[in-house]
């Protein structure tokens, strides 16, 4: 009995490329498909989580939303890695800056993803697992940022379960050198590790925790294109 379509992805085997670029907002995935891909074909609209497959400079690639938070990205990436033979997932998203030298629009390449989530407890490990990016992808992303002339930083991010919290913890993470906060990368990295595949998360700074600067929802959806350029250069 085939595992596809899955409960959350309506595609059949072969309709999704081995290389998938994912965004939390499905409308960002749609924007990317319509503005970057040649001949994009919709493969998923279950729960409104849009996914498209097309080509970029002749190479097959899929783009898809993954929703907000670790439980959401964990479901979608698990199914992609384990049921659709996806080998590489690159997450593009927005992040709140912790580091004083980051500016709105800068890119953050997540070498590692700290977390306050309990997602890793399922593996019953005798210690703390450190979710990290695939080095080859990270290395290529750095080279791409240099070639494009994009401002970027590489380091740890925080994948937090909390957007609103009764117990703010930014100071504790900042003193450990964490660059920015987002909500999904650590689960992506853990799913990649467990399935023996590759992952990288890269972000555009959408707001700054220290300065209070923010961007609009429309800006986040349609103008954060530098991370798209970098993600596509990894094909």
Catalytic residues: 207
Query: Is residue 4 packed enough to be buried (19+ CB in 10 Å), middle (13-18) or exposed (0-12)?
Result: middle
- Is residue 187 within a helix (H) or strand (E), and if so which, with residue range? helix 185-195
Of the candidates 83, 70, 71, 73, the residue with the CA atom closest to the CA atom of residue 29: 73
Considering Cα of 141, then 134, then 24, then 20, what sign does the dihedral take?
Answer: positive
| Cβ atoms 81, 133 nearer than 8 A | no
For tokens 């995935």, what's the residue? 29
Name the CA radius of gyration of the chain, rounded: 17
* Pair 201, 188: CB distance under 8 Å: yes
Three-class SS of residue 208? strand
DSSP assignment of 32-75 equals HHHHH-EEEEEEE-GGG--EEEEEETTEEEEEEE--SSHHHHHH
């Amino acid at each position: 009995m085939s595992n596809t379509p899955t409960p959350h992805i309506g595609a059949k085997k072969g309709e999704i490329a081995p290389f998938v670029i994912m965004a939390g907002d499905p409308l960002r995935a749609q924007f990317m498909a319509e503005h970057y891909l040649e001949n994009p074909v919709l493969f998923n609209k279950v729960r409104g989580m849009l996914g498209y497959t097309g080509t970029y400079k002749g190479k097959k690639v899929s783009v898809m939303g993954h929703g907000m938070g670790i439980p959401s990205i964990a479901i979608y990436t698990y199914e992609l890695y384990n049921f659709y033979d996806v080998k590489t997932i690159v997450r593009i998203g927005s992040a709140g800056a912790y580091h004083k030298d980051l500016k709105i629009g800068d890119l953050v390449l997540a070498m590692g993803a700290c977390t306050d989530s309990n997602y890793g407890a399922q593996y019953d490990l005798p210690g703390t697992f450190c979710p990290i990016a695939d080095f080859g992808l990270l290395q290529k992303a750095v080279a791409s940022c240099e070639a494009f002339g994009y401002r970027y930083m590489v380091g740890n991010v925080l994948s937090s379960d909390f957007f609103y919290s009764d117990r703010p913890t930014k100071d504790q993470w900042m003193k450990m050198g964490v660059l920015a906060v987002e909500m999904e990368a650590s689960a992506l990295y853990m799913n990649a590790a467990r399935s023996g595949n590759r992952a990288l998360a890269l972000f555009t700074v959408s707001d700054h925790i220290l300065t209070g600067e923010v961007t609009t929802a429309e800006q986040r959806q349609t103008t954060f294109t530098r991370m798209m350029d970098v993600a596509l250069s990894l094909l």
